[in-house]
Structure 1
Amino acid sequence: MNPNGIASSDDLWQSIRHEAVVAGAIDPIFGSSLSSAILDHADLDSAVAYQIGGRLGKNSTERGRFAQIAREAFLAAPDLVEAASRDLRWITVRDPATMGLLLPLLNFKGYIALQVFRVSNWLWSNGRIDLALLLQSQSSDSLQVSIHPSARIGTPVFLDHATEIVVGRLVEIGDEVTILQRVTVGRKDALGGRAPRIGRGAYLSAGATILGDISIGDFAKIGAGAVVTKDVPAGCTAVGVPARLTNCPEQRVRV
């Protein structure tokens, strides 16, 4: 446990291993798959790298290559491992149906897609542009989540269901954000202009589209299917096409 009371990646990993041992004892058929996925690994970064390789690679060579890229990033930037730890813990906070850490690590493709982005963003920031874009492409093909490596995403973040999510170039997403399926966030003009900024604690519902040089305030909510092209103040809810404001703390009434 670190000084601010949040479980470290090492603490989290011990909890995951314990869950794996218990699960294997209860269901030996499921447990047979846990050695390579969990028990053969010494730490969380190794297990997450293994999952990235397994999700992105189409054969053993590709799986090994993508896992090695992730391991390299985690070794060079330990903050990526702590981000992976916080993202995993956040799933248990945001999803009432999730009772532990093991199954999200193994089964939630949104979690792995987010870690693929974090690795690609590290590559992008270190000038390895082509490899960063390759990871984005593989994530889009294999996981149906396409996040441009130049985006900035805080932690923790939860990609729930994580199908047909697109986050474009230079988008900024704050901490504690939840994004559901079929959400698009990007610039209006693909050739230029600022991208949206998503504030802390925002909730982007299924099918929402957020475009242009706009800000979504802290703890704002974007309704299902809403199309947002103007600022949404903190704490407000935006619904409809085009989006209109409702439930604002200061009773604002239009986007």
Structure 2
Amino acid sequence: MGLALPAESPSLWDTIQREAVAVAAAEPVLAPWMHEAIVNHNDLAGALAQLIAVAVGGSSAEKALTRRLAERAYRDDPSLIETATLDLRAPLDRDPACPGALHVLLHFKGYIALQAYRISHRLWESGRTEFARELHGRITQALHVCIHPSATIGSAVFIDHGTGVTIGEGVVIGDDTSILQDVTVSRSPGGQAGAPRIGRGVLLSAGAMVLGNVHIGDFAKIGAGSLVLASVPPGTTAVGVPARLVSRTPDPRPALNMDQSLP
């Protein structure tokens, strides 16, 4: 998964640092945090390692361990930062209320939870499943965003608000997807084999549930509060409990426009 786009843009990081310096000057009470979180770091990787450690929490020793774990992951696998940059650009492109990249880093817990998941997923893939589970549990408790480390999530994904989002074991989510609060994507509670597969550019509206061995096609839209128990064709809107197909989605890029209205 992933688009063939450039890795972290120096201009983006320069912009973030300038914004942090401006905030520190305008609000001196915030200056120590701006320096700890942003200004003292040379790149996005350093800042993310610090922000993930602070967000996940724990004792000073636990925070230091999380920070070192993230720093090593970013050093050993630069693609994590490429993906983090694409994820960072997603809310800038899709949320007209977003003030800027610094705001995403400091205040969008869905973004931080997603980057912490990516580290837990790397641990899972390398066979360190117990460590991955431990990090997953701490992320869930701290941020109220539950993403199983075995899930596979593409790039340029936007988790808006974040609270209550649950992505279960074995789920696959494609690039450019937008996910709002209280969304659940998981295996069927009835024990049906297989997990949901979400295509590219899908919009999962607030409170939607996608359960079981189903496929949501590219550029589909799932309405708010809907319960999806069957596959949804590409470019189609599904709404209701249980969800029914309403029509072809008139917007060919629903995840980018974040339009939750129904035809």
Tell me if both proteins adopt one fold, taking TM over 0.5 as the criterion: yes
Q: Determine the structure 1 residue equivalent to 2:254.
A: none
Name stretches of at least 5 consecutive residues in structure 1 with no aligned partner.
Answer: 251-255
Mapping of residues 242-253 of structure 1, within 5 Å: 242-248=242-248
Q: Determine the structure 1 residue equivalent to 2:216.
A: 216
Mapping of residues 200-211 of structure 1, within 5 Å: 200-211=200-211
Runs of 4+ aligned residues of structure 1 deviating over 3 Å after TM superposition are 4-7, 189-192
Structure 2: distance between partners of 1:118 and 1:190: 28
Structure 2: distance between partners of 1:54 and 1:154: 25
Report the identity percentage.
47
Secondary structure of the residue that 1:234 maps to in structure 2? coil
CA RMSD of aligned residues (A): 1.7
Q: Deviations over 1:75-121 (max 9, x none)?
A: 11100011111111111111110131101101111001000110011
Q: Determine the structure 2 residue equivalent to 1:153.
A: 153
Structure 2: distance between partners of 1:5 and 1:109: 24
Q: Determine the structure 2 residue equivalent to 1:58.
A: 58
Secondary structure of the residue that 1:32 maps to in structure 2? helix
TM-score, length basis structure 2 = 0.89
Q: Deviations over 1:13-45 (max 9, x none)?
A: 112111112222232223332111111111111
Structure 1: distance between partners of 2:190 and 2:76: 32
Q: Determine the structure 1 residue equivalent to 2:253.
A: none
TM-score, length basis structure 1 = 0.92
Q: Determine the structure 1 residue equivalent to 2:260.
A: none
Secondary structure of the residue that 1:238 maps to in structure 2? strand
The number of residue pairs the alignment matches comes to: 247
Structure 2: distance between partners of 1:201 and 1:107: 24
The answer to whether the 8 A contact 1:9-1:44 is kept is no
Higher relative contact order (CA 8 A, sep 6+): 2
Structure 2: distance between partners of 1:175 and 1:114: 13
Q: 1:168 to 1:190 in 2, by over 3 A?
A: farther
Q: 1:26 to 1:220 in 2, by over 3 A?
A: same
Q: Determine the structure 2 residue equivalent to 1:167.
A: 167
The answer to whether the 8 A contact 1:236-1:248 is kept is yes
Q: Determine the structure 2 residue equivalent to 1:24.
A: 24
Q: 1:7 to 1:41 in 2, by over 3 A?
A: same
Name stretches of at least 5 consecutive residues in structure 2 with no aligned partner.
Answer: 251-263
